[in-house]
Amino acid sequence: VTTIPTIGFNVETLEYKNINFTVWDVGGQDKIRSLWKHYYQNTTGVIFVVDSNDINRIEKARDELQTLMTQDELRDAVLLVLANKQDMPNAMSASAMTDKLGLHHFRRSWYIQACCGISGDGLYEGLDWLASTLQKQQQR
């Protein structure tokens, strides 16, 4: 399967479970990561997509995730991690990725969902958690 990495960013507005989401899809390449900070303001939820089949880059993903989630502007944001490419034969489980990414160290609401971007398996379960969690936060 050939995929095209995001260059720069894409932005979409969508409604899911009666919540309007403005979704910023920002590229993950090294030279683009320094631009991420420009998208943090007013962020209530972060969806961090990780290639669960790429054991060689999981430490880099962990480091980037930890750097991202320590930003002051994201202190109240909830975190959904999508463990993508579960259709691949060597994909790490969501449990293994939880450990490798150090998710138990985060002091915020977080959830990890195994998924396959191509088939869509697992995506709605992750979005259901995100929508439910954000609705609960709004009610406080």
Boundaries of domain holding 70: 46-139
Q: Which of 131, 130, 78 is nearest to 106 (CA)?
A: 78
Q: Which helix (H) or strand (E) holds 16?
A: strand 9-16
- Give the range among 4-18, 49-63, 88-102 with minimum mean pLDDT: 4-18
Spatial neighbors of 99 by CB under 8 A, at least 6 apart, are: none
- CATH number for the domain harbouring residue 127: 3.40.50.300
pLDDT digits (tens, 9 = 90+) for 39-55: 678 889 999 999 999 99
Is 44 marked as binding a ligand?
no
Residue 40 falls within a domain, yes or no?
no
Rounded-to-integer distance, Cα 127 and Cα 119, Å? 15
Tens-digit pLDDT profile for residues 110-124: 999 999 999 999 999
* 87 in a labelled binding site: yes
Flag whether 103 is in a domain.
yes
> Does 19 fall in a domain?
no
131: in domain:
yes
137 flagged as catalytic: no
Is 6 assigned a ligand-binding role in the annotation? yes
Q: Give the count of domains, the chain.
A: 1
